Amino acid sequence: MADKVLTANRLCDGVSVWLDAAGNWNECLQAAFVARHKEAVEALEATGRQAFADNKVVDVNVVDVEEVEGVLQPLRMRERIRAQGPTITYAAGYAGLTVTDRPAA
Amino acid sequence: MYRYDEFDHAFVAGRVEQFRDQVARRRSGELTEDAFKPLRLMNGVYLQLHAYMLRIAIPYGTLSSRQMRMLAHIGRKYDRGYGHFTTRQNIQFNWPKLSEIPDALAELAGVEMHALQTSGNCIRNVTADHFAGAAADEAADPRPYAEILRQWSSVHPEFSFLPRKFKIAVTGAERDRAAIQVHDIGLHLKKNDRGEIGFSVYVGGGQGRTPMVAKKIRDFLPEADLLSYTTAIMRVYNLHGRRDNKYKARIKILVHETGAEELARQVEAEFAELRNGELTLPAQDIAAIAAYFAPPSLPPRAEGWASLAQWKKADAEFARWVGQNVQPHKHPDYGMVTISLKAIGGIPGDATSEQMEAVADIAEEYAFDEIRVSHEQNLILPHVALADLEPVYRGLLAAGLATANAGLITDIIACPGLDYCALANARSIPVAQEISTRFGAAARQTEIGELKIKISGCINACGHHHVGHIGLLGVEKKGEELYQITLGGSGDENTSIGEIIGRGFAPEKVTDAVEVIVDTYLGLRLSASETFLAAYRRVGPQPFKQALYGNAAEAA
């Protein structure tokens, strides 16, 4: 079984978040709690359902990750982009518009 | 341009307050996500990968400087200082907070703008030729009719829950710059032998997973019958369109499964019931709307001819920009200026708040306060005196908006793709950036000539890849991005759907593949005046397959 983390988008601003070990929704994937066995995944899913029901987050999903040299990396590109922000190199005229106000993944 | 009346103001303001209440109730938990989602979509609010996205309607792509400045303000105050102009002549902001969107909508309402019906299974923003009211080849300005359709379709109770979304485009010229044949309804405004205004009506075009070219079901519909006939089409669709399968719910599928002839018969039968009824447009009502779109008074500026010749002689870059981005206006002393949002290596359709303000300033000073958004993700100044082209160019140059590539290989359409979009399977923007960079040299672009590359990050085809001369469709295969190439598509008066040329290419190979296609074209064209599309239609796919896949071409 691949390692898994719980991710969602915060209801009030839509920002991508991951559930950390303290049960908080964190904007940084690297802070995420990693589930490595079935029971832990079920606990993540239950937490996600509750957080959705509590109107804290939307679009809740458990996603596969791997740890490479201590860095969490989602297996799917979609999730990597969600974690790291747009991959775009901004052209002249767009300097400063890269995603600067979110923590690095 | 159209100005809101009291009803419009009250209606839009009312909807803003409704949405403010809905957002508050959602945040308090009074509304569930399932209940709230269709409500936010009706107000143009999507949830994307990183944040919410707000899609603002720009009816038929027409903006004033005041409105453009408001878009710049929205970008700066509620977003990250930029916006993305779309292939439906709208603008999208990628980072607004749900909690702040009602305030943004209230500010937009102050300049007669909104985000209504930019999503949902309703009649979406009606689009039109971006050169409307200025083009020399136009029979009549399509925008008054687009505005009539906008008013009629806004929260139309019968057509707010259609089987699927519904898109209407209108052109007033023989040369179709609004891609009407890939819309649910395409209207070609023209004059008959008696000089009367009417429409050829096309139905059932579209892109997405099942691309279809629309079928003409009426050659000439009198203008007075526009709403009666459109209502007839909508009723047939609403009644018979499939609701059991989202992927078969567009009217193009109904037209395909029913047959254009039978569908036309059903529409005509419905139309016979409606004709000469309350939906008939009185001539004075059409005239009243048309008056809003009266062209500005364009004084003679014949001095521009001599000035222009001198400026072009003195500055080769300016001359190249004029040659590529300025089209003849119906008034000989004026031109229609395309402001490219396709800087070399840039993000197609993106503009910063500062750039929007620069365009607003230039439009106010030199272009009668009028700006258009094209479905090719550029901006247009429809009325600029030749005598003012040089200062306009200088202003655009200072704002990083003077790229001389309208219609060339770097004038690429690209959807937001996987960098932003929750539906995407692959990225579009970085592919566009790399192709743009590879072909960015001015001489090379000029040598290649007209060539439209269009890129979509998923089969929904927001990047119009099906009608790209070269179309790129990003898919996900075994967890990796792969780009399928189609050739020979076109979204003009001779619309065609591109043909898949063979197996797809990995991201790092796709620009090379495009280069092989371009070099093959350059090698086989009859002359420099034979465009890529004309050459492809003459020779077919085989030379390109051979060049791309070699001996494996037969199997490709």
Residue B418 belongs to a domain: yes
CA distances from B132 to B95, B129, B297, B380, B381 (A): 32, 5, 16, 11, 11
Q: Are residues B139 and B288 in the same domain?
A: yes
Residue B275 belongs to a domain: yes
Residue A11 to residue B50, Cβ atoms within 8 A: no
Q: How far is CA B102 from the centre of its chain?
A: 26
d(CA B354, CA B149) in angstroms, rounded, equals 33
Residue A13 to residue B98, Cβ atoms within 8 A: yes
Show which of B258, B292, B326 is a domain's final residue: B292
- What percent of chain B is modeled with pLDDT above 90? 98
For A61, the token pair is 């999903």
Domain that holds residue B351: 303-398
Residue pairs between chains A and B whose CB atoms are closer than 8 Å: 99
The torsion angle over the Cα atoms of residues B452, B456, B462 and B464, rounded to 10 degrees, is: 30
Which residue type does B553 have?
A
Under the banding of pLDDT at 50, 70 and 90, the label for residue A90 is low
Q: Is the pLDDT of residue A89 over 90?
A: no
Q: Please give the mean pLDDT across all residues of chain B.
A: 96
Q: Are residues B374 and B458 in the same domain?
A: no
Q: Are residues B487 and B511 in the same domain?
A: yes
Show which of B398, B424, B459 is a domain's final residue: B398
d(CA B534, CA B329) in angstroms, rounded, equals 26
The alpha carbon of residue A16 is apart from the nearest alpha carbon of chain B, in Å, by 5
Is B84 in CB contact (< 8 Å) with chain A? no
For B198, the token pair is 């009417």
Return the CATH number at B38. Answer: 3.90.480.20
Q: Is the pLDDT of residue B280 over 80?
A: yes
Q: What is the Cα gyration radius of chain B?
A: 23
Q: Are residues B34 and B66 in the same domain?
A: yes
Q: Are residues B337 and B390 in the same domain?
A: yes
Torsion B82-B63-B422-B460 (CA) sign: negative
Average pLDDT over residues B403-429: 97
Residue A13 to residue B430, Cβ atoms within 8 A: no
Beta carbons of B100 and B23 less than 8 angstroms apart? no
DSSP string, B205-226: -B-TTS-B--EEEEEEEEGGGH
Strand partners, A4: A35, A64
**Beta-strand relationship, B82-85 and B91-93:** antiparallel
Residue A9 to residue B47, Cβ atoms within 8 A: yes
d(CA B546, CA B164) in angstroms, rounded, equals 40
- Chain B segment 7-46 residues within 8 A of A by beta carbon are 26-29, 33
**What pTM, to 2 d.p., does this model score?**
0.95
Q: Are residues B247 and B385 in the same domain?
A: no
Q: Are residues B523 and B391 in the same domain?
A: no
Q: Is the pLDDT of residue A94 over 50?
A: no
- What percent of chain B is modeled with pLDDT above 70? 99
Instruction: Show the beta-strand stretches assigned E in B294-450.
Output: 326-328, 334-339, 350-352, 370-373, 379-385, 413-414
Which residue type does B430 have?
P
For residue B518, report the phi and psi dihedrals to the nearest 5 degrees. Answer: -65, -45
d(CA B502, CA B504) in angstroms, rounded, equals 6
Residue B161 belongs to a domain: yes
Residue B26 to residue A87, Cβ atoms within 8 A: no
- Chosen for mutation from A49, A90, A98, A100 (greatest number of chain B CBs closer than 10 Å) is A90
Q: Are residues B330 and B221 in the same domain?
A: no
d(CA B401, CA B96) in angstroms, rounded, equals 25
Residue B129 belongs to a domain: no
Nearest to B50 among A82, A90, A96 (CB): A82
Helix/strand/coil percentages in chain A, nearest 5:
25, 30, 45
CA distances from B418 to A72, B93, B345 (A): 20, 16, 18
Q: Within 13 Å of residue B47, how many CA atoms lie on the same side as its CB? A: 20
Q: How far is CA B426 from the centre of its chain?
A: 21
- Within 8 A of B427 by CB-CB distance, chain A residues are 81, 87
- Chosen for mutation from A66, A78, A82, A102 (greatest number of chain B CBs closer than 10 Å) is A78
Minimum Cα–Cα distance from A78: chain B residue: B418
Dump pLDDT digits (tens) for B66-85: 999 999 999 999 999 999 99
d(CA B182, CA B464) in angstroms, rounded, equals 9
d(CA B215, CA B182) in angstroms, rounded, equals 10
Strand partners, B454: B413, B471
Give residue ranges of A with CB < 8 Å to any B CB: 9, 11-16, 52, 54-55, 58-59, 75-78, 81-82, 85-94, 96-97, 99
Nearest to A88 among B52, B97, B429 (CB): B429
Residue B35 belongs to a domain: yes
Beta carbons of B281 and B226 less than 8 angstroms apart? yes
Q: Are residues B283 and B164 in the same domain?
A: yes
Token pair 């078969």 in the structure block, residue: B248
Dump pLDDT digits (tens) for B357-382: 999 999 999 999 999 999 999 999 99
The alpha carbon of residue A54 is apart from the nearest alpha carbon of chain B, in Å, by 7
Minimum Cα–Cα distance from A101: chain B residue: B80
Beta carbons of B484 and B475 less than 8 angstroms apart? yes
Dump pLDDT digits (tens) for A36-58: 999 999 999 999 999 999 999 99
Residue B124 belongs to a domain: no
**What are the CB-based long-range contacts (under 8 Å, 24+) for A100-104?**
A102/A15, A102/A27, A103/A27, A103/A28, A104/A28, A104/A30
Cβ contacts of residue B517 below 8 Å, gap of 6+? B470, B485, B487, B501, B544, B547, B548
d(CA B426, CA B458) in angstroms, rounded, equals 7
Under the banding of pLDDT at 50, 70 and 90, the label for residue B334 is very high
Average pLDDT over residues A81-89: 88
Residue B19 belongs to a domain: yes
Under the banding of pLDDT at 50, 70 and 90, the label for residue B551 is confident
Beta carbons of B65 and B364 less than 8 angstroms apart? yes
Q: What is the pLDDT of residue B41?
A: 95
Q: Are residues B418 and B386 in the same domain?
A: no
- Within 8 A of A77 by CB-CB distance, chain B residues are 418, 476, 479-481
d(CA B553, CA B317) in angstroms, rounded, equals 42
Dump pLDDT digits (tens) for B107-162: 999 999 999 999 999 999 999 999 999 999 999 999 999 999 999 999 999 999 99
The CB density around residue A67, as the number of other CB atoms within 10 Å, is 11
Which residue type does A47 have?
T
Total domains, chain B: 4
Return the CATH number at B176. Answer: 3.30.413.10
Q: Are residues B313 and B284 in the same domain?
A: no
The CB density around residue B76, as the number of other CB atoms within 10 Å, is 16
Residue B117 DSSP code = T
Q: Are residues B452 and B521 in the same domain?
A: yes
- Chosen for mutation from B40, B41, B50 (greatest number of chain A CBs closer than 10 Å) is B50
Minimum Cα–Cα distance from A27: chain B residue: B50
d(CA B182, CA B204) in angstroms, rounded, equals 8
Residue B352 to residue A93, Cβ atoms within 8 A: yes
For residue B161, report the phi and psi dihedrals to the nearest 5 degrees. Answer: -135, 65
Show which of B398, B423, B448 is a domain's final residue: B398
Residue A29 DSSP code = G
Residue B119 belongs to a domain: no
